Structure 1
């Protein structure tokens, strides 16, 4: 951008909320472009800045466009976190742990979450006189597949929080920002019972009490992941 500030292209009710949170934590000057979903899809203007047309997108100060939350978060932290506050507090909270937890959120929890969301959407779109059948199919798949998978991953996440407030130590790190979205989505769509994972539940509440999270919610254009 001409002013040298990064620009975040942010869409309502999407994973870009975690990047808005991160930028607010970094307390850097930035530009914010707000976009709204159209029929639950990304608006066409997002393809003007990146061919995938998804959010978030970060346009760097020198005009490079970065897509994908994990990469955007890494760029922001490595570029602007001069004190290392959001890079883990050492020992086990290092880059290996950070990469592993980010990968877990995207490559393990993410696909199971998408399957569950597709089935929820299919049940919603099915004609009402056979909707019960699709709901039954979803219930069986959740019972036999997605439910046990979620339980495996969330028990692991719960264990990873033992003895520390955030996944990367005493302050949130990239893994915390990235994991926040699947946890938000799974809770909103009632894919999990967060009470079964008390450390994750406390971590989630702790994240949403942070002033930067609250500022991100205020500056964004909506963050409702409930399935309506």
Structure 2
């Protein structure tokens, strides 16, 4: 049986969601974050990078969310329900699969890191400097960058229900983590299309089953 090495409040939630959509049986090995919010060292026994998600299937060890989702679609999506056929939609599908972690998520990770510079565990003596630096970088560069990406995504969803057309695809599953992070910590208002997309996800029975299996999924704000 396929095994998901699942870290709480992490990217592995979207792998559970994909498996529930596909109806693929799986088992979960659970890990809890350390106080530092990093993954425990025990994950390194499964994959040298010690990150989640990691999937074991038929003797294969698979890491990286996008690669895992592509593998699941190619291996288990026998009806080709989660990858579009039309050329433009296929191009959109490929774009969003790569954009999620290649362009959007690094900005949101920086948002989280900079927001923490004025807080513990940063040493007390340098918190003020960290806070000033954080506010300067966010105002001058990071926040405008995030706003540009948020408006771009919002516009893409203005005339379609899902990222690669009118059907849910693996592109939506891949985009779920950064979009949830964007809405939690991006500081961008007036994103009705993105919020409607998120609501459609949360109403899906497969998403709800994945939450039951993986545990609560609420990303911290910035």
Fold conserved (TM > 0.5)? yes
Contact 1:157 1:200 in 2 (8 A): yes
1:143 aligns with 2:145: no
1:103 aligns with 2:98: yes
> Which ranges in structure 2 are unaligned for 5 or more consecutive residues?
none
**Which runs of structure 1 show a deviation greater than 4 angstroms over 4 or more consecutive aligned residues?**
127-130
Once residues 144 and 88 of structure 1 are traced to their aligned partners in structure 2, the CA distance between those partners, rounded to angstroms, is: 39
> Which ranges in structure 1 are unaligned for 5 or more consecutive residues?
none
* Corresponding residue for residue 205 of structure 2: 211
Contact 1:119 1:138 in 2 (8 A): yes
Q: How far is 1:227 from its partner?
A: 4.9
Q: How far is 1:132 from its partner?
A: 4.3
Of 9, 14, 25, the residue aligned with 2:10 is 14
Larger mean Cα displacement after TM superposition, 166-175 or 50-59:
166-175
1:157 aligns with 2:156: no
Once residues 134 and 124 of structure 2 are traced to their aligned partners in structure 1, the CA distance between those partners, rounded to angstroms, is: 15
Once residues 123 and 225 of structure 1 are traced to their aligned partners in structure 2, the CA distance between those partners, rounded to angstroms, is: 20
1:176 aligns with 2:172: yes
Q: How far is 1:168 from its partner?
A: 1.7
* Corresponding residue for residue 198 of structure 1: 192
Deviations 1:163-216 (A, max 9, x none): 22111222221211111101112222x3232x4222111111111111111111
* Corresponding residue for residue 48 of structure 1: 45
Q: How far is 1:152 from its partner?
A: 1.4
SS in 1 for 2:115: helix
Q: How far is 1:27 from its partner?
A: 1.0
Once residues 11 and 215 of structure 2 are traced to their aligned partners in structure 1, the CA distance between those partners, rounded to angstroms, is: 13
Once residues 16 and 147 of structure 1 are traced to their aligned partners in structure 2, the CA distance between those partners, rounded to angstroms, is: 27
Q: How far is 1:136 from its partner?
A: 3.0
TM-score, normalisation: structure 1 = 0.89
